[in-house]
Amino acid sequence: MAHQATYLFSTRTSKELAEKISKHYGQDLGKINFQEFSDGEFEPVLDQSVRGGRVFLIASTFPPADNLLELLLMIDAAKRASAKSITVVIPYYGLARQDRKDKPRAPIGAKLVANLITAAGATRLMTMDLHADQIQGFFEIPVDHLYASSIFIDYIKSLKLENLTIASPDMGGAKRAKNYAGHLGAEVVISYKERKKANEVEEMFLIGNVKDQNVILIDDMIDTAGTLCKAADILMKNGAKSVRAIATHGVLSGKAYENIEKSSLLEVIVTDTIPIEKYKSSKIRILSCAPLFADVMKMVHEHQSISKKFII
């Protein structure tokens, strides 16, 4: 039986990451012709036959919503072009914070996105560090949920820090911090925060001892960086020797760059799931997730187990 052909395509705003993935995968990105209308409407057209093949569509769905719409149109195009399978590679899954109905008359945006991706024709989803693990259950198709821990743990070990402590900036990340600490043989501390409203922390308290410790804050995303910077300040006030922050997704909206630059954080390490304007802060270090995605894409295509790629 002939080996199934593979095709890699990318949305426009994820092109930089997609090119890195394609390089590690060992195959060039497929060409897409974009027709744009004067009112802002656009139409992506796959510029090669994908009939009977496995299509990988690479797209982080960060705002604006056009990024999600562009992906949905590409899924539909691949389906109508008779692709045998359509694997959607979403390094950053947008609207993941809307994973539950936490107030009356609120939408569950993460579920709606899952419905749209499935309805468009995707047959598999690959993503990394979802804001909530249960989002996998929103899909009726296979989901490969990768973790950036394999990237970050190697980096943390390379720092060779003594008196290492792993910190969570909130109660929700306690399990993640505990898992990292277990792999690194480190202690764990937790910050407890009270919010007045989204993106604004009113009060923060520290649970645990950080005196003379080199602390690394672990989170899944950095948005305005308000929580992280406040947590870093509290850790330093409580005697920490140094504070670094690690997060998979560098959303970095609002005054995030300014907050990071002014904070007591020594370094902020993120992956490239979202394009980052690194020049805006000298403290930001970017580690690429491209090799991890390329490896898992190959393993999925060759029907191999991907369990060895999971650390946490």
Residues marked as catalytic: 193
Q: Count the alpha carbons within 13 Å of 94 in the hemisphere toward its beta carbon.
A: 16
In this structure, what DSSP letter does residue 62 have? P
Distance CA 123, CA 53 (A): 13
Residues constituting the chain: 312
Q: With contact defined as beta carbons under 8 Å apart, do 201 and 208 qualify?
A: no
Amino acid (1-letter code) at residue 222: I
- Rounded to an integer, what distance in angstroms lies between the CA atom of residue 151 and that of residue 144? 17
Separation CA 191–CA 185 (nearest Å)? 20
* Contacts of 103 by beta carbon, 8 Å cutoff, 6+ apart: none
Count other Cβ atoms within 10 Å, centred on residue 61.
27
